């Protein structure tokens, strides 16, 4: 049985959708940062201990990329996704550290049909990532395009 596909019409303001959890290891933090954000606090545990962060922390771009993977695997892959023009108010209020377990969710804020492309809908949402202690480590306001249900 094929999984049900979500169309634009399946999103409603107020919906809160959990998108799963992911464990973060020191190896993952260092591997991402070596490639994309090679600052001492992200790649060098000894140097990181001497920063204001007091130890190794994940690149914020790593955290948002991990959130994206959860979002794709647990939600977007089951939709008719048509991409995104951007995000707003991306925040990292607390560091992500080795051995953290992160949980992601999205809350739908607003939905409307595209005026320029009426077979497409626009969904505005707020994403949140929390650690194993329930502390908010990342938030953002996202905008995504989804295909409308065929008539």
Which residues fall within 8 angstroms of residue 141, CB to CB, at 6 or more apart? 87, 88, 89, 109, 124, 125, 126, 127
Look up residue 12 and give its two tokens.
């409603």
Shorter beta-carbon distance to a second copy: residue 65 or 135? 65
Give the Cα separation of 59 and 65 in Å (integer): 10
Q: Using CB under 8 A, which of 60, 74, 78, 108 touches a second copy?
A: 60
Site string for a second copy, 7-46 (x = CB under 8 A): ----------------------------xxxxx-x-----
The reply on whether position 66 binds a second copy by CB under 8 A is yes
Look up residue 131 and give its two tokens.
């650690």
The reply on whether position 126 binds a second copy by CB under 8 A is no
Q: Using CB under 8 A, which of 3, 14, 93, 134 touches a second copy?
A: 93
Separation of CA 76 from chain center: 11
We find the least distance from the C-beta atom of residue 67 to a second copy, in angstroms, to be: 9
| Burial profile 32-64: b = 16 or more Cβ within 10 angstroms, e = fewer | bbeeebeebbbbbeeebeeeeeeebbbbbebbb
Q: Using CB under 8 A, which of 83, 101, 107, 132 touches a second copy?
A: 83
Chain positions contacting a second copy, by CB under 8 A: 35-39, 41, 51-53, 59-61, 64-66, 68-69, 72-73, 76-77, 81-93
């Amino acid at each position: 049985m094929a999984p049900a596909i979500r169309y634009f019409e399946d999103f409603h303001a107020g919906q809160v959708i959990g998108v799963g959890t992911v464990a973060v290891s020191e190896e993952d933090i260092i591997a991402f940062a070596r490639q994309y954000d090679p600052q001492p606090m992200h790649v060098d545990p000894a140097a990181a201990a001497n920063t204001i962060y007091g130890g190794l922390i994940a690149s914020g771009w790593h955290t948002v990329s991990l959130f994206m993977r959860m979002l794709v695997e647990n939600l977007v892959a089951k939709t008719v996704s048509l991409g995104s023009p951007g995000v707003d108010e991306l925040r990292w209020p607390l560091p992500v550290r080795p051995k953290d377990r992160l949980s992601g969710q999205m809350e739908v804020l607003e939905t409307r049909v595209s005026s320029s492309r009426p077979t497409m809908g626009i969904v505005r949402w707020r994403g949140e990532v929390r650690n194993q202690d329930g502390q908010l480590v990342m938030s953002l306001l996202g905008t995504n395009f989804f295909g409308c249900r065929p008539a």
